[in-house]
Amino acid sequence: MSVSYEIKKEIITQQYKSACCRRALLTGILFARGEAEGKCSGFSLEKMEFAEFSAGLIREFYNKEAVIYRPPRGGRFYIVDFDSSSASKFISSLGNLSNDFTVCDIITQKCSTCLQSFLRGVFLASGRLSNPEKQFSLEFSLGERVDAFAKILQDLSLSPRITTRKYADIVYFRNSYQIEDFFGHAGINHAVFNIIEAKINALARRESQRFLNCVTGNYNRMVDVSERQIAVIKRLEELNLLSSLPDELATTARLRLDYPEVPLSFLASKMTPAISKSGLSHRLKKIEELGAKLLGENTKE
């Protein structure tokens, strides 16, 4: 079940107490997908349940029975057709909007939530939200009405982008904050929470990975240093040069050979008398430095 489907399912199952909001919802659907030819009006929706919901709104506000069918060539969309001169007139008027129109020229806002319902209708008919856990993407396939919808979104202080993909004109967002704001304007709060939760989870994963990389890097560096020091000590032993080191360093070097794979904290506890981990680390560094000099002098000879 897709994220978009869950949101659209919520849109059609929510109770809209005000008739003006139900009308605004239908207006959003007609704005997004409506087509008119003469007195015939129609649009396509991707699920039968969405089509049946829309048919109920058409019955309520246009007093017409809509016909729902699959196109002859099949596909995943359902066609909703009905005969209404007023609906046809409204759909035709959308192509003649002035450059300075407002959403109030499209819907009659009789209450504070009519705009929410209009935006929900647009999303129900043409919207697609990707899974926020994978990417942040909100798209509206609107054909010739992309500019008009972009204008409405800009009036809401949003910054949509427009593109053409496979002969379809798209209004889209890739910015998670802009997507949150759209669903906030549409009153679909659970979508906002899901996006915020996805961002928190993504941040937690990045921090966890950064910590793991840090720990792994430190461990690898420790292993490299340990292997280098043991290699020096083994070479000194092969050349009988361990006795050339100061007594405490020679003792430390021999103990390191006896326990090559144990951590420094354990090795420090085996010293007599016991020393601190930092003290042991300092001794091993001195062994490496002095050992390198002895090996270099021995090689010259």
Question: Which pLDDT value is given to residue 182?
Answer: 94
pLDDT in tens, the chain (301 residues): 688 999 999 999 988 889 999 999 999 999 999 999 888 899 999 999 999 999 999 999 999 999 999 888 767 789 999 999 999 999 999 888 888 888 888 888 778 899 999 999 999 999 999 888 888 899 999 988 999 999 999 999 999 999 988 778 899 999 889 999 999 999 988 888 888 887 787 777 777 778 777 877 777 777 777 788 888 888 888 887 877 888 888 888 888 878 887 787 877 887 888 788 888 888 888 888 887 887 775 544 4
Tokens linked to 263: 């951590």
Which residue type is seen at 100? D
Type of residue found at 49: E
Q: pTM above 0.85?
A: no
Which pLDDT score is estimated for 268? 80
Residues near 119 by beta carbon (within 8 Å), at least 6 away in sequence: 28, 182, 185, 186
Report CA-CA distances (Å) from 136 to 142, 164, 195, 198, 208: 20, 19, 8, 9, 21
Measured CA distances, 252 to 45, 135, 267, 275 (Å): 78, 55, 9, 11
